[in-house]
Amino acid sequence: MSHVFSEETHRNLLSRIPHCTGREVSDWLRTVEEGPSLLRFEEKVSWLRSEHDLAYGHAKAIIHEYDLRRAARKLL
């Protein structure tokens, strides 16, 4: 299954996460960073969903954002 969002869809999902979850995106990114060392995208999404009761789209957007930011850090 593809985990690619359009940029607009990704940004829309991220903007709704604080309202829907009660936590800022930065808090979720920290949760992923401190969570288990899972390698595959879908494993990370499944972990967020099962441990934190997130909707699939929100979990997917958080992991996608986490991966984007991690890749950007590697380029610096």
- 35 touches 13 (CB < 8 A): no
Residue 3: the pLDDT is: 64
Residue 44, judged by CB atoms within 10 A of its CB (0-12, 13-18, 19+), counts as buried
Residue 46: the pLDDT is: 98
* pLDDT 10s digits, 5-56: 789 999 999 999 999 999 999 999 999 999 999 999 999 999 999 999 999 9
Residue 4: the pLDDT is: 66
Residue 76: the pLDDT is: 63
Q: What is the pTM of this model?
A: 0.89
Residue 14: the pLDDT is: 96
